[in-house]
Copies of this chain bind each other. A is one copy, B any other.
Amino acid sequence: MQVALNEARIAMDKGEIPIGAIIVCHDKIIAKAHNQTETLNDATAHAEMLAITGAMATLGSKYLKDCTLYVTVEPCLMCAGAIHWAQIPKIVYGTKDRKKGYSSYSTKIFSQKTKVISGILEKESTEILSSFFKNNLR
C-alpha cells in the first residue's frame, strides 16, 4: 500500500486527484498507476482502470485471477465493475469514499469469494486527499 500511496503522491504533483493503485501477482508488483483524468483528458482514467489494463497487458491475460489490487481509496462503481470483469479475487483499499464508493450503490458487485480489506494506511490516504481538496477548492 505504500507503493500505491507513492503513486497517489505522483498524481498530487501533477495536479491530479491523488489516488494511487498497484496490482500484485505472486508477491510481485506487475502494475502501478495513478489517477490521470486531467493528464489524459479522460474521465475514465482512474488509477484502478489504468492499473488493471496495465496488469492485463503485462500478463497477456484478460483475467487477473491470482492478483491483489491495492488502492488508496475505495473504488467507484466503474472501477468495481472492472475489478469484477477482471476477476480479481482480493482488493485492499485505504480510505472509504462515502460519496462515490461502490458500496454506496451496491454490495453485490463482487462474488462472495472476493476478499475486500479496507482501512490500510487509511490516515495517509485520507490526508493526501484532504490536502488536495483544501488547495483545489472546486
Binding site for B on A (CB under 8 A): 37-38, 41-44, 49, 52-53, 56-57, 60-63, 76-82, 84-87, 105-106, 108-109
Contact = CB atoms under 8 A, between A and B. Distances in A.
Contacts of A84: 77-78
A85 B45 CA distance: 10
A92 B85 CA distance: 23
Contacts of A53: 42, 44
B78 A62 contact: no
A37 B62 CA distance: 7
Given A43-B63, A77-B77, A106-B106, 12 more contacts: A38-B62, A41-B60, A43-B82, A43-B85, A76-B85, A77-B106, A77-B109, A78-B78, A78-B79, A78-B81, A78-B85, A105-B108
A63 B44 CA distance: 10
Contacts of A81: 76-81
A82 B78 CA distance: 6
A20 B83 CA distance: 22
A38 to B, nearest CB: 8
